[in-house]
Amino acid sequence: MKTSNPTANDFSKSQYLPQEENEAERVKPSKSSISRRSFLGKSLAVGAGTIGAGLLANAPTARASGGLTPGDAALLRFAAVAEILETDFWVQYNELGGVQDSEVPGGSGNPDYTEALEVLDEDMPIYIHDNTDDEFTHQNFLNAYLASKGAATVNLRPFRTLPGSSATGSSGKLRLTNLTQLTLDTSWWTRYRGTGHNPDLDPDFTFPQAVPTLAVGQHTAIPRTDADLSDPNFVQAMANTAAFHFPTIEQGGNSLYPSMAQRATDPEVLRILISIGPTETMHFQTWSEQAGNAPPLTAVDPVTGVSVTFPDLEDVGENLQKSLIMPEPCPFLSRNLPKCSIIRPTETRGVAMGTLRFLTDMGLFIGQSPAFFTLMNQLARAADAARRGS
């Protein structure tokens, strides 16, 4: 477990310490007292200035005062916002099922939920803790780097409005993300095991789901209240859902960073993107292996009545086999070239908006305000508009 302390130049963890989740209509932004106009007029960005519509759209080609092109700044801002959101939900997992210490403070642990996670691997609390710590360092570094270059940074504190778990172990703080109404696309499982297709070359190919029922309905990955802990089978289902949520998220970052790196202008910005990206790959492979250990079961949510079934992935053929955690070779760039073991997808067009849709469709933002979605779309559009030299 990592024990290093942040340096004096780091943004403090408490400055960005995340909060939790809520319930509302899926994907559709909920109404909020924070209007777009009032939000954009109150200097959301910390550092060089306010992130408003003028800054995020149609960015000029002149370099920013610190030497960053508007395009490079937009790429790093989108990476920063993704890391802030990621840190938010990892903190929720750590409070309930990770190692509780001063390095990742906030919760006190939930014994029943932690025990269910340890069914998959006894080191799950350590892995959760260290993944959480990694995301803190990513968000803090990216914002600090932007600030050092005189560029606007990202602060999502106005949107920490979602109530999260009230179960034993949770800090009870308000959150940015919702872990109680997840709809998970687990097709990444077969995408990385299949050898015949690459989403970059076959955008219309449908990869089978590893856990089809997770892609239907809304599932909680954490106990909402202590009442959710009364049925051990359901507690294990929540832990299994979390176990598949972990790699589902990390494979997104696994693709996001190399995709954005192709648009970077400054070699140092390129270096940042290709240095953080591989840590997401390390997270993805770790969690991919752990997800394969999820015990087969069927459970019904006592609150929503939604059913989930986790299949036995032991002897189910090559495309579902749980032990195949190395990326299988697949077509890359052209079918006229030999197959290659790669990260996929890495298509750069529309990657930021695609990431935003991916997170929204997952249900992470259920309960968020229209102003939140406005900002997310502005940041994504600006990142997608980045071009080398602009």
Beta-carbon contacts of 266 under 8 Å, excluding residues fewer than 6 positions away, are 67, 68, 69, 72
Q: What confidence score (pLDDT) does residue 316 get?
A: 79
pLDDT in tens, 142-161: 999 999 999 999 999 999 99
Q: How confident is the model at residue 195 (pLDDT cuts 50, 70, 90)?
A: very high
* pLDDT surpasses 60 at 15: no
Higher pLDDT: 62 or 27? It is 62
Two tokens, residue 181: 């109404």
281-315 burial string, b = 16+ CB within 10 Å, else e? bebbbbbbebbbebeeeebebeeeeeebebeebee
Tell me phi and psi for residue 75, to 5 degrees. Answer: -60, -45
- Residues 6+ positions from 139 with CB-CB distance below 8 Å: 11, 16, 80, 83, 84, 86, 87
- pLDDT beyond 70 at 31: no
Asked if pLDDT for residue 34 goes beyond 60, the answer is no
Whole-angstrom distance, CA of residue 330 vs CA of residue 341: 6
Q: Which two tokens stand for residue 107?
A: 């919760």
What's this model's pTM, rounded to 2 decimal places? Answer: 0.85
Q: What are phi and psi of 332, to 5 degrees?
A: -140, 125
Q: In which band, very low, low, confident or very high, does the pLDDT at 66 lie, cut at 50, 70 and 90?
A: low
200-207 mean pLDDT? 96
Distance CA(77)–CA(153), nearest Å, equals: 7
Residue 10 confidence (pLDDT) above 60: no
What is the per-residue pLDDT across 297-322, written as a single tens digit (0 to 9) for each? 999 999 999 999 999 998 777 788 88
Nearest to 56 by CA among 389, 386, 388, 387: 386
Name the pLDDT band for 63 (thresholds 50, 70, 90): low
- With a CB cutoff of 8 Å and minimum separation 6, the contacts of 122 are none
- pLDDT-derived band at 323 (thresholds 50, 70, 90) equals confident
| Structure-model confidence comparison of residues 15 and 277, the more confident one | 277
- Whether the pLDDT of residue 324 is over 50: the answer is yes
User: Does the pLDDT at position 198 exceed 70?
Assistant: yes
Contacts for 275-282 with beta carbons within 8 Å, 24 or more apart? 276/79, 276/138, 276/141, 276/142, 277/253, 279/134, 279/138, 280/250, 280/253, 280/254, 280/256, 281/250, 281/254, 281/343
